[in-house]
Amino acid sequence: MAHLFGTDGVRGQANVSLIPELAFDIGRAHGFFIRNGRSVSAGDNVGSERPVIAVGRDTRISGQMLQYSYVCGLNSSGVDALLLGVLPTPGIAWAIRNYGADGGCVISASHNPFYDNGIKLIGGNGYKLTDDEEHRLEELIKDASSLPRASKDGLGIMRFLKEAGAAYADYVSKLSETRLDGLRIVLDCANGAASAYAEGIFAGLGASVKVIHNEPDGVNINAACGSTHPEIMQETVVKEKADFGLAFDGDADRCLACDENGRMIDGDHMLFMFAEWLRGRGRLYENRLVTTVMANLGLEIACRENGLNMARTAVGDRYVLEEMLKSGAVLGGEQSGHIIFSDYSTTGDGMVTGLVLAQIVKSSRRKLSELASKVEKKPQYLVNVKVKDKHTWNSYPEVAACLKKAEKVLEGRGRILVRPSGTENLIRVMAEGPDKEELETLINMIVGVLFVHCGEH
């Protein structure tokens, strides 16, 4: 049971490691946890005497199976479930606060393939559970069968809230400070949670939209589409002569873009543009933005040259958010396109990210390629290595020696970053510096040593 919770909830292959029985136990433990007041601040219970958890999912074929398994465990503990249906992860966080729920649960594996799934728990304040709360939940899940069961009229029930999706879309639309008439936008919905919402939001504000990958069938989520595979979006933007494209991931908490020429615009570019946009409106607290150790050196240089204060955290939006809350920053995010506007949401929201980008292009009357040009990206290479155990990779002396050698080569000119994935059994190796060939050589050297000593053969 060690390491059940990763950086983004409980992840695993559906019906293999993430089985219905585990989902049931998580529901029972979460229900007990909520009833005993050990979670973060709760809402007003949506008119029920029993605690209420808002539950939503993405479009994976395993979503309903895991959702109902989790909810049955929840009900068994005497907690009600407010079923929201298919909804972006940020929509579920919004619904918790909008409907006064005591917490939330998202059934999604975000950008992972369809055969994976996950269970992410959210507190009554709309934020992810803390590390301490997840640790206490893990202890409860270990012995879930011994937890007390509700009886008689104390059993929890399921209630369906079909209007939640439309209400969330209306909330996002009203965040726009300007209409988008005249803009031509390509929207890649990744056959995921964005499929039912993106077109209505952007077209409703006047944009002319071309929507692709918006026909989910349970197994095509993230399949050669969306933010992890934006190539078709890029081609479509050029073909349609659009102003830009937006690509979401499976649960629509991330958004990447491409400019009118089909060139990718990632989270580093967007964070800089968003920071300047907020500063121009007097809304960027202490000219501060938060990102992670994966952010490109080009973003750091652009921030320094333009009077913006950039802070780096460990990889993961939870760590970005922690730093934002601690420092008072209103903007944070990751290179992957997971952007947090704390004035709008408690988590990253791909719809909001795309909407703010559209506003900037519209109001500036400039091309996205020009707006993004202030961040001159430095060569950066990232390679993923499949390993037998991502928690022991740094215990090998040969790996440590190899890293020390590579770091010495780049000393003062670049950096090496090696870290385990928070959601998959991978080691991510990143090198950044001025010379592409040199970086490739160093990456290949490190990857080779990792594969020999701890690779999945």
Q: Which CATH number do you get for residue 284?
A: 3.40.120.10
Q: Are 429 and 360 found together in one domain? A: no
State how many domains the chain has: 3
Report the candidate in 292, 326, 328 with the shortest Cα–Cα distance to residue 310.
Answer: 292
Asked, for residue 113, whether it belongs to a domain, the answer is yes
Q: Are 319 and 244 found together in one domain? A: yes
Average pLDDT value over all residues in the chain? 93
Q: Are 152 and 207 found together in one domain? A: no
User: Among 304-318, 367-381, 409-423, where is mean pLDDT lowest?
Assistant: 409-423
Task: Report the pLDDT averaged over residues 265-283.
Answer: 97
Q: Are 272 and 289 found together in one domain? A: yes
Residue 212 pLDDT exceeds 50: yes
Q: Are 196 and 257 found together in one domain? A: yes
The bridge status of strand 339-341 relative to strand 288-292 is unpaired
Catalytic positions, please? 110
Asked, for residue 438, whether it belongs to a domain, the answer is yes
Describe the strand order of the beta sheet including 255-258 as a list of residue ranges. Answer: 208-212, 184-188, 244-248, 255-258, 264-265
Asked, for residue 322, whether it belongs to a domain, the answer is yes
Band (421; pLDDT cuts 50, 70, 90): confident
Tell me the residue type at 98.
N
What's the confidence (pLDDT) of residue 1? 45
Q: Are 308 and 419 found together in one domain? A: no
Q: Are 207 and 260 found together in one domain? A: yes
Tokens representing 435 are 């010379």
Give the tens place of pLDDT for each residue, 225-236: 999 999 999 999
Give the tens place of pLDDT for each residue, 303-321: 999 999 999 999 888 899 9
Q: Are 404 and 436 found together in one domain? A: yes
Tell me how far apart the alpha carbons of residues 434 and 284 are, in angstroms, rounded to a whole number.
31
What's the confidence (pLDDT) of residue 457? 65
Residue at which a domain ends, from 100, 130, 162: 162
Residue at which a domain ends, from 348, 372, 396: 372
Give the tens place of pLDDT for each residue, 132-188: 999 999 999 999 999 999 999 999 999 999 999 999 999 999 999 999 999 999 999
Task: Report the pLDDT averaged over residues 86-99.
Answer: 97
CATH number at residue 405: 3.30.310.50
Q: Are 329 and 386 found together in one domain? A: no
Please say whether the beta carbons of 69 and 15 come within 8 A. Answer: no
What is the domain range of residue 441? 380-454
Task: Name the more confident of 396 and 55.
Answer: 55
